[in-house]
Structure 1
Amino acid sequence: MSPVSRPRVLAVSLAVAGVLASTAPVAQAAHHGEPPRCGGHGVDANARIHYASDVVIKAPLSTVWKLQTDVERWPSWQPPVLTAERLDSGRLAKGSRFRWTTPVPATPTTPATTLGITSTVQELRRHDCVLWSGPAVGEGLRIDEGVHLWTFRKVRGGVHVHTEETWTGAQVEADVPTATAALGAGLEAWLRDLTSAAEARHTPQP
């Protein structure tokens, strides 16, 4: 895929699409040089809906990685994820598939619904990165494909987490600003939940 050049900000995170009604734009993190990749692959460079963000989590890399890749337990620390199930067995790996659901409130152009998301892992490097993609379908709302990248890097005091996602599909592309604003808010919420869960596990008990 060719590098993403001056991507547009905003869209709804497939994992936290419950914030779809958000209207306030969220600032996109700036990146320089080559765009992030996992095994040479990244988000859809041609997508009109794109958002990226970063955070440093004060917890061990193993803790952050476990939370993010144990998808069946997402509902235990991500309130917007109603259900999550693996469609295969074993450790999450390239080719693994999982299905999850999240409620989506009404917007001026789409009805309130519950999205069913079927994701396939396209690339995974243990304790380094993971890339998955798939459609999200609800009554009156469809995202043809969401592509979601996560990268993890040890830094002083914790783990630098980068995430970005793109969406494609006629329905969401009909109102790019609304979709992008929601995606931005959704990804920021996911990062907050991941940070809270990881740092809570890492905090020594008195």
Structure 2
Amino acid sequence: MPRIRSTSIRAALFTVPLAVAGVLGVAAVPSGATPHLDKPLTCRGEGVDPGARVHARAETVIHAPLSTVWKLQTDVERWPSWQTPVKSMERLDHGPLRKGSTFRWTTPVPPNPSTPATSLDITSTVEQLKRNSCIRWTGPAIGEGLRIDGVHVWRFTKVDGGVLVRTEETHTGEQVEADVPTATKILREGLEGWLGDLKTTAKARAGHHRR
């Protein structure tokens, strides 16, 4: 599931611009990235919830080795060390992240028109994974007066000079569906923030290893 920036709700199993109200799934493409909006992202043939009204995509190019980017993303126990919005993290199984792995984490959510400020308790389950290529996880995020069911897909592709990282996520739930534009803006901002943190950390680690 996503997470939420304390300043701009970052629900990453979750993790939506107030682009145009009602226009969902239009990815915000950071500088240097090439948009790939022709079809939904999948991992081993499975994608996000096609019926979800809250839906966002984002992508960026990270100038670092694929192995570095992959390790950062899949070593979930260390997320709090480079993602400020992740306040706690607990692996519920052991060993390398794989299909069936589960982890529980928390992230704050600021107040919004539909719900009060709260902390989301997220339990994510890895449904599909292909090493150095893709991950898909699902799970509920629960807070005071709020429940989100999310599906999150990540894809990693080698490109000249680095890795193209693409991510797509959907949310369902009574509270987020009560205000789809706001929920979409929150989700989009969360995805963009996550990519930004991943990019900054991966580039720093790659630079360190080159010294």
* TM-score range normalised by the length of the shorter chain: 0.7 to 0.9
**Matched residues in 1 for 2:100 and 2:120: separation?**
22
- Give 1:20 deviation, angstroms: 2.1
**Matched residues in 2 for 1:16 and 1:101: separation?**
9
Partner in structure 2 of residue 190 of structure 1: 194
Partner in structure 2 of residue 45 of structure 1: 50
Question: Please, which of 102, 106, 114 is the counterpart of residue 119 of structure 2?
Answer: 114
- Give 1:25 deviation, angstroms: 2.7
Moved more, 104-113 or 94-103: 104-113
Q: Is the 8 A contact 1:43 1:165 kept in 2?
A: yes
Quote the RMSD (CA, aligned, Å). Answer: 1.8
Give unmatched runs, 5+ long, in structure 1.
1-12
- Give 1:33 deviation, angstroms: 3.5
Q: Is the 8 A contact 1:15 1:102 kept in 2?
A: yes
1:1-206 equivalences in 2 (<5 Å): 14-16=2-4, 18=6, 19-20=8-9, 25=18, 28-29=27-28, 30-143=35-148, 145-204=149-208
TM-score by length of 1: 0.88
- Give 1:90 deviation, angstroms: 1.1
Runs of 4+ in 1 over 6 A off after TM superposition: none
**Matched residues in 2 for 1:203 and 1:63: separation?**
11
Q: Is the 8 A contact 1:88 1:96 kept in 2?
A: yes
Q: Is the 8 A contact 2:47 2:153 kept in 1?
A: yes
Q: Is the 8 A contact 2:3 2:9 kept in 1?
A: no
- Give 1:32 deviation, angstroms: 4.2
**Matched residues in 1 for 2:204 and 2:5: separation?**
24
1:71-98 deviations in Å (ceiling 9; x for gaps): 0100000000001110011110001000
Q: Is the 8 A contact 1:51 1:180 kept in 2?
A: yes
